[in-house]
């Protein structure tokens, strides 16, 4: 699967936030290349039909699940970005079969999850949670006997063994923090190479039974797969030390909750702390295997959250969607979990190699090679793709295979440009002298034919031609970052407010480029009219201001 995504022949691609309503972080990154809508749904039954039919990209948190039957409801979907690390709420195999790229944001909340894990461990060892709860409920503690009674079971940390199952980003961060508190650290992770234990100064266990037997406290930091589901069950709990602790800030399905509940009631497991549960959202009032268990701490799947990490996660997800729109999907995606399978063609749904958003003028990227263009399709007869022969030089300024990188593209003399292109086409491998001679001739023509330029700002220059009936032609300085940068919209640092900058950039890519050139070569075609952005396809449900405001789309 390659190419860019499109939402039809003329409209912007539609991007939907499935299970949320706040798009304030995502809009600055996506507003110039896509229409953004939010659904605030908990299942696909609550998603608007327009999203199901037209959305080419979806953002989602952990509160909605996409199984095969859910994914099949989306008719145009090409990429799903999970805001967070885990993709266990997405049927990745089905998505691959349907030609849908699945992405995540794996590196943005490592510190928060590690800090929360250590916090829960300390709470269980020092009984902080239960002591605070007793005081808040009115328990008066005035003497040493009452302190002893209330704090009985508090445990010293030093020299206890913390077993970490899964030594990835979070597992490693937990190990480094726990060592500072005096824990001995051991870990089990069959996917890591030899020597990791020595580099970190911790002990390695080579099977699950070994780490369960050695550890005074177990913390889980592995993904939920068919192999890891219910890895903590009746049999494995019996192999743990009596009075051990269990912490889970990874995935609820790793623990068989019925087995954990029985072991907590019997005292074999001294205490447990769970930020994730088999069924979420967790209801403490519902009758389940963990109800009426006093020695357990429940938190609502929030170990990942801080104000900083939440913003970072959303920025990473929005940038991944932008890469899918202005780049090639899945080639240019940085965190696509099924990229290799998609590139290998393991999909049933026909895929397209055309542009993702060919009609969104603000997504034009001059640094991205175009494909399938010819001399007749280019600017004033000049190609914008790779069909011209290239000079055998390492200097990219002379590489006509991508003339958009060539400084002659700033030449107002289209005759000089045409001359240079014709010379390159007729003698593609002539010597350096001939090439430099042609370049010198073109530069000379540029010098003699260019109109005086009145410099207005470091970024934007306006040139007036007496032959253009006082019409102005605007050019962008090479110092300005292209508006289609995968990392976000360009910024014109001339004091223009952001909203006006966006409008200005759109003007530069449409009206300005269609202005008449002061010098035209005979027979040269006029500049192509860059199509303007249209959201007419959303007129019935999307207001006109949706270019800068997320749209709420409810199920009908």
Spatial CA neighbour of 490 closest among 293, 119, 477, 262: 477
Spatial CA neighbour of 272 closest among 299, 306, 253: 299
Can you say whether the dihedral through the CA atoms of 234, 239, 240, 241 is positive or negative? positive
Angle at alpha carbon of residue 239, lines to 233 and 240, rounded to 5°:
90
Residue 200: phi and psi, rounded to 5, are -100, -10
> In angstroms, rounded to a whole number, what is the distance separating the alpha carbons of residues 212 and 520?
79
Active site residue 319: no
Active site residue 227: no
Spatial CA neighbour of 411 closest among 305, 521, 291: 521
- Count other C-beta atoms under 10 Å from residue 264's C-beta: 21
The three state secondary structure string of 352-402 is: CCCCCCCCCHHHCCCCCCECCCCHHHCECCECCECCCCCCCCCCHHHCCCC
Burial status of residue 317 (CB atoms within 10 A of its CB: 0-12, 13-18, 19 or more): buried
3-state SS class at 435: helix
> In angstroms, rounded to a whole number, what is the distance separating the alpha carbons of residues 506 and 514?
12
Q: Which of 280, 340, 349, 429 is catalytic?
A: 280
Q: Which of 251, 277, 319, 473 is catalytic?
A: 251
Query: What is the DSSP secondary-structure string of 68-87?
Result: HHHHTT-SS--EEEESSS--
Are 56 and 7 contacting, i.e. CB atoms less than 8 angstroms apart?
yes
Scored b (16 or more CB within 10 A) or e, 154-192 reads eeebeebbbbbbbbbbbbbbbbebbeeeebbbbbbbeeb
Please enumerate in sequence order all residues whose Cβ is within 8 A of that of 249, keeping only pairs 6 or more positions apart, or say none: 113, 116, 117, 120, 170, 219, 220, 221, 275, 276, 303
Q: Which of 12, 62, 221, 301 is catalytic?
A: 301
Active site residue 251: yes
H/E stretch holding 93 reads helix 92-97
Beta strand 296-298 with 35-38: parallel, antiparallel or unpaired?
unpaired
> In angstroms, rounded to a whole number, what is the distance separating the alpha carbons of residues 293 and 553?
42
Active site residue ranges: 251, 280, 301
């Amino acid at each position: 699967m390659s190419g860019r995504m499109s939402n039809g022949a003329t409209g912007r691609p539609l991007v939907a936030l499935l299970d949320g309503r706040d798009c304030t972080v995502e809009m600055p990154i996506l507003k110039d290349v896509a229409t953004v809508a939010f659904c605030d749904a908990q299942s696909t039954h609550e998603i608007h039909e327009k999203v199901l039919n037209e959305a080419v990209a979806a953002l989602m948190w952990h509160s909605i699940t996409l199984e095969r039957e859910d994914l099949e409801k989306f008719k145009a979907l090409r990429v799903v970005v999970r805001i967070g690390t885990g993709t266990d709420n997405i049927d990745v195999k089905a998505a691959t079969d349907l030609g849908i790229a699945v992405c995540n944001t794996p590196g943005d909340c490592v510190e928060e999850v590690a800090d929360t894990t250590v916090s829960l461990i300390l709470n269980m060892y020092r009984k902080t949670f239960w002591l605070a709860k007793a005081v808040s409920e009115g328990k008066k503690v005035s003497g040493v006997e009452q302190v002893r009674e209330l704090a009985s079971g508090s445990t010293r940390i030093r020299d206890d063994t913390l077993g970490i199952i899964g030594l990835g980003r979070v597992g490693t961060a937990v190990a480094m923090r726990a060592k500072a508190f005096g824990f001995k650290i051991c870990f089990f992770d069959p996917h890591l190479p030899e020597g990791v234990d020595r580099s970190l100064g911790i002990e390695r266990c080579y099977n699950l039974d070994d780490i369960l037997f050695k550890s005074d406290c177990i913390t889980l930091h592995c993904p939920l797969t068919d192999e890891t589901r219910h890895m903590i069950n009746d049999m494995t709990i019996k192999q743990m030390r009596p009075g051990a602790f269990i912490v889970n800030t990874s995935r609820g399905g790793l623990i068989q909750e019925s087995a954990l509940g029985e072991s907590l009631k019997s005292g074999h497991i001294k205490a447990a702390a769970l930020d994730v549960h088999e069924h979420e959202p967790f209801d403490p009032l519902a009758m389940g295997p963990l109800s009426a268990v006093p020695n357990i701490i429940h938190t609502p799947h929030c170990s990942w959250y801080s104000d900083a990490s939440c913003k970072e996660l959303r920025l990473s997800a929005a940038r991944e969607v932008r890469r899918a729109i202005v780049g090639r999907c899945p080639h240019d995606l940085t965190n696509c979990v099924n990229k290799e399978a998609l590139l290998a063609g393991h999909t049933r749904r026909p895929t397209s190699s055309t542009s993702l958003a060919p009609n969104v003028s603000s997504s034009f990227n001059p640094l991205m090679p175009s494909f399938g263009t010819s001399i007749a399709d280019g600017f004033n007869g000049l190609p914008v793709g790779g069909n011209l022969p290239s000079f055998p030089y390492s200097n990219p300024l002379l590489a006509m295979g991508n003339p958009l990188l060539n400084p002659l593209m700033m030449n107002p003399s289209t005759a000089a440009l045409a001359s240079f292109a014709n010379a390159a086409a007729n003698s593609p491998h002539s010597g350096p002298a001939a090439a430099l001679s042609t370049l010198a001739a073109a530069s000379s023509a540029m010098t003699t034919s260019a109109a005086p330029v009145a410099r207005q700002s470091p970024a934007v220059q306006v040139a007036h031609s007496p032959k253009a009936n006082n019409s102005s032609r605007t050019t962008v300085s090479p110092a300005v970052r292209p508006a289609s940068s995968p990392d976000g919209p360009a910024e014109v640092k001339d004091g223009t407010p952001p909203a006006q900058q966006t409008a200005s950039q759109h003007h530069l890519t449409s009206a300005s480029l269609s202005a008449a050139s002061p010098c035209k070569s005979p027979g040269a075609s006029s500049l192509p009219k860059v199509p303007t952005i249209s959201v007419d396809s959303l007129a019935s449900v999307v207001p006109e201001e949706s270019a800068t405001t997320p749209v709420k789309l409810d199920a009908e």
